[in-house]
C-alpha cells in the first residue's frame, strides 16, 4: 500500500502563536498535496535560548498551543500529524522535549520524549547543555499505523544507532528524526547519519528540520528529507526557509530490503575482550 508522507521545514521563532500559524499553513499545504502523514521539526513551538523566557511561555499538554492545533488539524483534515517536538512543562521544574502523534480523529496516538541530551562543545565556539533545561526521556516508542509501524526519535538521538535498531527489531518500517541540527554538525553529518540509519535498519526515514537564522540567534541546517530503505533520498529541501517535502512510500519495500540483506536477523551476541597493552620492549615467544 502506497502512502504519501510529508516533512515540513520551518524556521521557528520565539513566539509560539506565530509558529503555530506557520505550522498550520504548511500542514494544510502538505495535506493539499495528498499527504496522509505529516511531520513537523523539533521544537516546532519555539526556538528560545533564554531559559526564563522559555519557562514563561511554557504550558502543559492540555494547554499547549501547538498540541491543540495539531489535534485540530489532524481531525479537520483527516490525517496523521506528528509534532516532531515542542517544549512541554514536565512538572518537576524541568521541561520535556516531547513529540506527539495524532490520528485522523484528532486523538493522540502516542507521545515521545527525547532520550539523548545534546550536551556538546563545538569547535566554532557553540556550547550546548540541553540537560540543564530538559528532562531526558526513558522509553523508545513504536506506533502501529495503518500504513506501517513508525519509530520515534528526535535530533541528537540520530547519533545513537541502538535506539533505531531497537525500534526496527520491534517491527518499525518507518523511522523518524525531526530535528533542529546546528549548521556546523549538519554540514558534516546530517545526510550521512540519516541514510545510515535507513540503510542499516532497512527502513524508510522521515526527517523534518528547522532551517535558517532564528530569532534567538542560532542557525540551523535544514535539508529536511525522506530516505528509502536502500538509502536513496526520495525528496529533500534546501538549507534555508520553509519547505514542504513530499514522497510516496510503501513499507513493502522495507520487507523486501530486509529479505535481501537480513542483517536484523543475522545479528549475533558476542563477548568483548580487552587485550592488555604489550609490555615495553615487546614480548618473548
Residues annotated as catalytic (active site), given as ranges? 42, 114, 155
214: left (phi over 0), alpha (psi -120 to 50) or beta: beta
Q: How far is CA 196 from the centre of its chain?
A: 15
Count CB neighbours of 210 within 10 A.
28
The strand ranges marked E within the chain are: 3-9, 37-39, 80-89, 95-102, 108-113, 119-121, 127-129, 142-145, 148-151, 174-176, 204-207, 211-213, 219-221, 225-227, 233-236, 243-249
Strand locations in 173-263, DSSP E?
A: 174-176, 204-207, 211-213, 219-221, 225-227, 233-236, 243-249
Q: Are 205 and 176 in contact (CB under 8 A)?
A: yes
d(CA 157, CA 99): 13
Q: What is the spatial distance between Cα 120 and Cα 168, in angstroms, rounded to a whole number?
A: 28
Residues whose CB is less than 8 angstroms from the CB of residue 189 and which lie 6 or more positions away in sequence, other chains included:
none
C-alpha cell at 103: 490520528
Amino acid at each position: 500500500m502506497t502512502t504519501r508522507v510529508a516533512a515540513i521545514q520551518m524556521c521557528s521563532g520565539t513566539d509560539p502563536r506565530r509558529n503555530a500559524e506557520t505550522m498550520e499553513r504548511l500542514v494544510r499545504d502538505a495535506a493539499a498535496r495528498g499527504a496522509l502523514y505529516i511531520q513537523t521539526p523539533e521544537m516546532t513551538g519555539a526556538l528560545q535560548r533564554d531559559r526564563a523566557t522559555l519557562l514563561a511561555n511554557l504550558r502543559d499538554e492540555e494547554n499547549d498551543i501547538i498540541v491543540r492545533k495539531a489535534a485540530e488539524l489532524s481531525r479537520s483534515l483527516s490525517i496523521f500529524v506528528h509534532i516532531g517536538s515542542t517544549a512541554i512543562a514536565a512538572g518537576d521544574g524541568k521541561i520535556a522535549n516531547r513529540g506527539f502523534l495524532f490520528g485522523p480523529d484528532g486523538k493522540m496516538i502516542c507521545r515521545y520524549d527525547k532520550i539523548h541530551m545534546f550536551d556538546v562543545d563545538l569547535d566554532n565556539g557553540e556550547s550546548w547543555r540541553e540537560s540543564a533545561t530538559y528532562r531526558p526521556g526513558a522509553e523508545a516508542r513504536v506506533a502501529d499505523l495503518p500504513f506501517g509501524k513508525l519509530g520515534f526519535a528526535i535530533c541528537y538521538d540520530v547519533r545513537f544507532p541502538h535506539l533505531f535498531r531497537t525500534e526496527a527489531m520491534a517491527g518499525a518500517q518507518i523511522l523518524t528524526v525531526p530535528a533542529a541540527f546546528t549548521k556546523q554538525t549538519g554540514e558534516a553529518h546530517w545526510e550521512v547519519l540519516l541514510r545510515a540509519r535507513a540503510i542499516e535498519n532497512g527502513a524508510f526515514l522521515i526527517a523534518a528540520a528547522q532551517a535558517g537564522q532564528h530569532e534567538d540567534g542560532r542557525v540551523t541546517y535544514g535539508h529536511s528529507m525522506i530516505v528509502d530503505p536502500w538509502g536513496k533520498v526520495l525528496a529533500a529541501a534546501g538549507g534555508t526557509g520553509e519547505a514542504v517535502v513530499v514522497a510516496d512510500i510503501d513499507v513493502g519495500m522495507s520487507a523486501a530490503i530486509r529479505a535481501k540483506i537480513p542483517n536484523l536477523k543475522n545479528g549475533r551476541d558476542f563477548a568483548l575482550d580487552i587485550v592488555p597493552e604489550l609490555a615495553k620492549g615487546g614480548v618473548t615467544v
